[in-house]
Amino acid sequence: MVSESEERSMGEKEYKNILQKTPPLASTDPKTERARRIGEKLAAVSGKPDFNWEFNVIDDEKTINAFCLPGGKVVVYTGILKIIKDDDELATVMGHEIGHAIAHHGAERMSQGMLTQIGGAVLAAAVGGQSPMAQRAYKEAYGTGANLGILLPFSRKHESEADYIGLILMSKAGFNPEAAVNFWQTMEKASPGKDDPLAKFMSTHPSHKDRVKNIKKWLPEARKYQPKE
């Protein structure tokens, strides 16, 4: 329901807004140069030469995150750089975020949200003749059902897809795919309690244990893409 051009346009707009609110480090900063060097290697094997790739680092040590907006706008926060051991682990993070962009997960999530809103409107019309209390109960049930039954699992699927794509990209770009296992194991140690059954069910991300398990399963395939010496 969202075209690629619309997705990119929204990505460009949001990217500019983010950088206006939180200006990135200078292009000559070693952290920015590192992110750009790694990002350009990943972009070169992404199959997206039409993306207008940009790589920036935002100085925010409390934010352990990175993202890639549609069209190839990549931002890494210094908070995640503190727990990354080497370039291979940074390629793990950036490859994962780039995976979201090249798989058009943003457009898919927007389309899913639009469909959910349409479904909610149809339901509201169908129960319009009932009491306000009954209508509210139906709407709340619909909202919870849509969130747990559709939106969260859909997001977990995106995360797994991005893990897989990122693993292949980093391997193609000459980085060690084994580093993905090390990185997510480090994240697991830094995030106690994330594998609680209820937290796992409600989370939009797979548990770190599930991530590591899947990555280990994909490693033999990823190794085949490493450049020949």
Residue 201: which H helix or E strand, with range?
helix 197-202
How far, in Å, CA of 192 to CA of 56, rounded? 30
Residue of 54, 89, 97, 108 marked catalytic: 97
Looking at residue 174, the DSSP 8-state letter turns out to be T
Residue type, 88: D
97 catalytic per annotation = yes
Cβ 174 vs Cβ 81: under 8 Å:
no
SS3 of the chain: helix, strand, coil, percent, to 5 = 65, 5, 30
Closest to 138 (Cα-Cα) out of 149, 147, 146, 127: 127
Which of the residues are catalytic? Answer: 97
